[in-house]
Structure 1
Amino acid sequence: MIRDRDSKFTALFDEVFTTEGIRVVLSAPQAPRMNAVMERWVGSVRRELLDRILVMNERHLRKVLAEYETHFNMHRPHRALQQGSPLRALPEPVDADIDVSRRDRLGGLLHEYAQVA
Structure 2
Amino acid sequence: MSEANPLWGAPRIHGELLKLGIEVSQATVAKYMVRRQGAPSPSWRSFLRNHAEGIAAIDMFVVASASFRLLYVMIILAHDRRKIMRTAVTEHPSEAWLSRQVTEAFPWDTAPHYLLRDRDASYGAYFRKRIEVMGIKDVVTAPRSPWQNPYVERVIGSIRRECLDHIVIFNERHLRRVLSSYADYYQRTRTHLSLEKDCPDSRPIQHRSVGRVVAVPRVGGLHHHYERLAA
User: What's the TM-score, normalizing by structure 2?
Assistant: 0.38
Q: 1:61 to 1:29 in 2, by over 3 A?
A: closer
Q: Equivalent of 2:193, from 73, 76, 79?
A: 79
Q: 1:18 to 1:116 in 2, by over 3 A?
A: closer
* Residue 136 (structure 2) pairs with residue 27 (structure 1): no
| Structure with a larger share of its residues in strand | 2
Partner of 1:103: 216
Per the TM alignment, residue 90 of structure 1 is displaced from its structure 2 partner at its CA by 3.1
Matches within 5 A, 1:31-110: 35-91=149-205, 94=207, 96=209, 98-110=211-223
Would you say the 8 A contact 2:188–2:203 is kept in 1? no
Q: CA RMSD in A?
A: 3.4
SS at match of 1:62: helix
Alignment partners' CA distance in 2, 1:55 and 1:102 = 26
Aligned residue pairs: how many? 105
Partner of 2:112: none
SS at match of 1:54: coil
- Name structure 1 gaps, 5 residues minimum: 6-12
> Which of structure 1's runs of 4+ aligned residues deviate more than 6 A?
none
Q: 1:4 to 1:57 in 2, by over 3 A?
A: same
User: What's the TM-score, normalizing by structure 1?
Assistant: 0.69
Alignment partners' CA distance in 2, 1:39 and 1:18 = 17
Per the TM alignment, residue 86 of structure 1 is displaced from its structure 2 partner at its CA by 0.8
Per the TM alignment, residue 52 of structure 1 is displaced from its structure 2 partner at its CA by 0.6
Alignment partners' CA distance in 2, 1:71 and 1:100 = 18
Q: Percent identity?
A: 35
Larger radius of gyration: 2
Per the TM alignment, residue 47 of structure 1 is displaced from its structure 2 partner at its CA by 0.3
Partner of 1:10: none
